[in-house]
Amino acid sequence: MILFIFSISLNSMAQTKKYNQLGNEFQFVRAINNKLAAEIYFGSTFSNTPTENKVLSTNIQRYLSGWVHYYYTPRWKFSGSLAYYYNKDVPDIGQYFSPEWRLCLQGTYYFHKTGYTLLTRMRGELRYMMNQEGVYEDKYRYRQMIRYIKPVNGKVLRKGIFYFITSEELFFKPDAKTSGITFFDRNRFELGGGYLVTDNLQLELTYVNEFLPRDTNNELYNVLSFTATFNNPLLNLKKHISSIISPERQED
């Protein structure tokens, strides 16, 4: 299905606009109990434009997102989030000022295998965003992803392990009011790797290819994405400070 949609999009569109971008995201994860976990993400995206080749010269987006995860079984995880996206006015790439509130509900199914992890994620999004006239409107989107994670120098993800990661995701916008394709919105392919510095600090660097088919011009985004994940940061900081302070100092 992916190849079919991709080939139809390429054959039916005449021109493609290409952009190089840089994304960064910081994730803070807190385990509440054996079944629940909470996360806070914040990040930003930079892009080149037709008038500015330097990627870091133009910031196009900043965002903040809060997540709650419920681990129903070892195979099923259900999640919900509320996020705010500050999409800046960048006429050079056809982006207008469009702040957005986004509510997400998703389910993730894990295929646990020895030596690697395969998962599929189903996500529904309710997007409350500003249009070009300055009026907020509701938009809906569905996303389907499959991801493969393979440890390189070990069998499980833990401290000192490098890992390979790749994913494929399709976006659908059945009620989109924008011009262009109204059902199949985009295709996102990711390829890269990561390293667990400690059991509580994880770094990832990936290349993301995002293709958006449109009636007039296709859009192609080549994104270098960096992600840092911190597990239980406040708890670990408290333990670190406690280990530095001597018992005598604590008594004083």
Quick: pLDDT tens for 45-89: 999 999 999 999 999 999 999 999 999 999 999 999 999 999 999
The pLDDT value given to residue 15: 81
The pLDDT value given to residue 248: 52
Residue 172 has pLDDT above 70, yes or no: yes
Per-residue pLDDT of 201-244, as tens digits, reads 999 999 999 998 877 788 999 999 999 999 986 666 566 566 66
Per-residue pLDDT of 106-135, as tens digits, reads 999 999 888 899 999 999 999 999 998 999
Q: Where are the alpha helices (DSSP H) in 65-209?
A: none
What's the whole-number mean pLDDT along residues 140-158? 94
What are the structural domain ranges in the chain?
15-243
Query: What's the pTM?
Result: 0.85
Mean pLDDT, the chain, rounded, equals: 87
- B/e letters for 185-224, b = 16+ CB within 10 Å, e = fewer, are bbbbebebbbbbeeeeebebebebebbbbbeeebbebebb
CA distance 242 to 201: 19
Helix (H) or strand (E) holding 5: helix 2-12
User: What Å distances lie between residue 151 and 122, 198, 208, 229, 236, CA to CA?
Assistant: 24, 15, 20, 17, 25
The yes or no reply on domain 15-243 and CATH 3.30.70 is no
